[in-house]
């Protein structure tokens, strides 16, 4: 916030929970419980909720027709940080609505304030998660959360500057680095932003020179982090055995040196499971630019000209559709 004296809240926020709307609850249960290995905390006709640590809920799937990622819960360190964020939102003219008790319980938090963020993804601000000391029943030994929170989100945008400002002005996000990726004759620019010690919590991708968004869903992928390469490969094998398509098999990114795979979720966006994501030393860090999203691997499971044709054509049709609908930005 350049226009008023304000405390820097870098390091005081993290990704807290994910809310997904889908009618494919059984597929989601299979992917997250039997494939990725999360603890299933609640399952009924309308809702699935999953744990990965002492938070009562980290991923919530609610029944509905959107087949999309609808809200991210953003955890702030304390009441003072929340107050600062709410004040910034007010200064920017962005309305924040307080939750009702039912909505808060649904997300596993005491209360939250909802903002309609870029691409109409709700950003739900909270600082008091509901915790539990019930033992975890997971196929993985553990997932990385702690002060840096859950993994990260990657989002495609036709308004990358406004989207960047949203995270910078409200949460003091810092640019970590930039990757240029070339796919099917097109150039993709991806910027990575951190709000705490983790290399990135948000990545923003845009097609260079083309005002199109080839991705139907609000996010391109959500990332979760596990603790070891063994847990990563075990989850990869489980997901594949269950029949989930690998959008990208195991590989390594050049910037945060994370090894990961990307599995197609039942709602059409990708779910990345990784390990070994870089923790940044602020005193030493220098931003840089890389050519290519992967050092090695990350090959699609479905290869061949026909799959490439249908995938790219599908993305192209979605891109054309996006021309008819302006992208929402609160800034
Ligand atoms: Fe990622």
CB atoms within 10 A of CB 131: 11
Tens of pLDDT, residue by residue over 82-124, are 999 999 999 999 999 999 999 999 999 999 999 999 999 999 9
How many A from CA of 151 to the centre of ligand 1?
8
How many A from CA of 192 to the centre of ligand 1?
10
Per-residue model confidence (pLDDT) at position 276: 94
- Give the residue-averaged pLDDT of 114-136: 98
How many A from CA of 233 to the centre of ligand 1?
17
How many A from CA of 154 to the centre of ligand 1?
6
Per-residue model confidence (pLDDT) at position 1: 47
Backbone CA torsion sign across 284, 289, 295, 297 = positive
How many A from CA of 215 to the centre of ligand 1?
15
Domain 146-322 class in CATH: alpha beta
Per-residue model confidence (pLDDT) at position 3: 54
How many A from CA of 262 to the centre of ligand 1?
9
Domain 13-126 class in CATH: alpha beta
Three-state SS letters, the chain: CCCCCCCCCCCCEEEEEEEEEECCHHHHHHHHHHHHCCEEEEECCCEEEEECCCECCCEEEEECCCCEEEEEEEEECCHHHHHHHHHHHHHHCCCCEECCHHHHHHHCECCCEEEECHHHCEEEEECCECECCCCCCCCCCCECCHHHECCEEEEECCCHHHHHHHHHHHHCCEEEEEEEEEECCEEEEEEEEECCCECCCEEEEEECCCCCCCCCCCCCEEEEEECCHHHHHHHHHHHHHCCCCEEEEEEECCCCCCEEEEEECCCCCEEEEEECCCECCCCCCCCCEEECCCCEECCCCCCCHHHHHHHHHHHHHHHHHHCCCCCCCCC
Contact 272, 260 (CB under 8 A): yes
How many A from CA of 255 to the centre of ligand 1?
11
Average model confidence (pLDDT) for the chain? Answer: 94
Tens of pLDDT, residue by residue over 209-228, are 988 898 999 999 999 999 99
pLDDT at 288 over 80: yes
Tens of pLDDT, residue by residue over 217-262, are 999 999 999 999 999 999 999 999 999 999 999 999 999 999 999 9
Q: Which residues contact 154 (CB under 8 A, 6 or more apart)?
A: 190, 202, 203, 204, 205, 219, 220, 221, 222, 223, 272
Task: Give the whole-number percent of the chain exceeding pLDDT 70.
Answer: 96
Per-residue model confidence (pLDDT) at position 2: 46
How many A from CA of 253 to the centre of ligand 1?
9
Rounded to 5 degrees, φ, ψ at 308 are -60, -40
- Give the residue-averaged pLDDT of 145-155: 96
How many A from CA of 313 to the centre of ligand 1?
23
Residue with more model confidence, 54 or 184: 54
How many A from CA of 134 to the centre of ligand 1?
30
pTM exceeds 0.75: yes
Going by pLDDT thresholds of 50, 70 and 90, the confidence category of residue 165 is: very high
Per-residue model confidence (pLDDT) at position 307: 72
How many A from CA of 224 to the centre of ligand 1?
9
Task: Give the whole-number percent of the chain exceeding pLDDT 90.
Answer: 88
- Give the residue-averaged pLDDT of 17-43: 98
pLDDT at 314 over 70: no
Per-residue model confidence (pLDDT) at position 309: 61
How many A from CA of 24 to the centre of ligand 1?
23
Asked whether this chain's domains 13-126 and 146-322 adopt the same fold, the reply is yes
pLDDT at 304 over 90: no
Distance CA(124)–CA(247), nearest Å, equals: 29
Distance CA(54)–CA(50), nearest Å, equals: 11
How many A from CA of 94 to the centre of ligand 1?
28
Per-residue model confidence (pLDDT) at position 69: 98
Domain positions in the chain: 13-126, 146-322
């Amino acid at each position: 916030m350049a226009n008023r004296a304000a405390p820097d809240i870098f390091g005081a926020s993290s990704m807290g929970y994910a809310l997904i709307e889908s009618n494919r609850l059984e597929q989601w249960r299979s992917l997250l419980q039997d494939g990725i290995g999360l603890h299933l905390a609640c399952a009924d006709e309308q809702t699935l909720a999953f744990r990965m640590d002492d938070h009562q809920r980290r991923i919530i799937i609610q029944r509905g027709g959107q087949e999309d990622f609808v809200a991210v819960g953003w955890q702030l360190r304390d009441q003072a940080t929340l107050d600062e964020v709410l004040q910034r939102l007010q200064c920017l003219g962005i309305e924040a609505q307080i939750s009702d008790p039912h909505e808060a319980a649904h997300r596993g938090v005491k209360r939250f304030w909802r903002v309609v963020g870029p691409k109409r993804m709700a950003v739900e601000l909270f600082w008091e998660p509901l915790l539990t000391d019930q033992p975890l029943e997971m196929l993985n030994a553990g997932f990385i959360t702690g002060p840096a929170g859950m993994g990260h989100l990657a989002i495609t945008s036709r308004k990358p500057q406004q989207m960047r400002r949203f995270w910078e002005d409200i949460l003091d996000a810092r640019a970590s680095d930039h990757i240029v990726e070339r796919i099917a004759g097109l150039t993709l620019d991806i910027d990575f932003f951190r709000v705490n010690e983790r290399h990135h919590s948000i990545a923003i991708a845009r097609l260079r020179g083309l005002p199109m968004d080839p991705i139907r869903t609000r996010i391109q992928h959500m990332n979760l982090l596990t603790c070891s390469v063994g847990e990563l490969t075990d989850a990869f094998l489980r997901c594949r055995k269950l029949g989930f398509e690998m959008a990208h098999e195991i590989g390594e990114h050049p910037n945060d040196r994370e090894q990961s795979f990307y599995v197609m979720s039942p709602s059409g966006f990708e779910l990345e499971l990784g390990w070994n994501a870089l923790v940044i030393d602020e005193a030493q860090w220098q931003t840089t630019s890389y050519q290519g999203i992967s050092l090695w691997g990350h090959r699609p499971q479905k290869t061949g000209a026909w799959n490439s044709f249908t995938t790219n054509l599908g993305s192209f049709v979605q891109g054309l559709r996006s021309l008819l609908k302006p992208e929402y930005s609160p800034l």
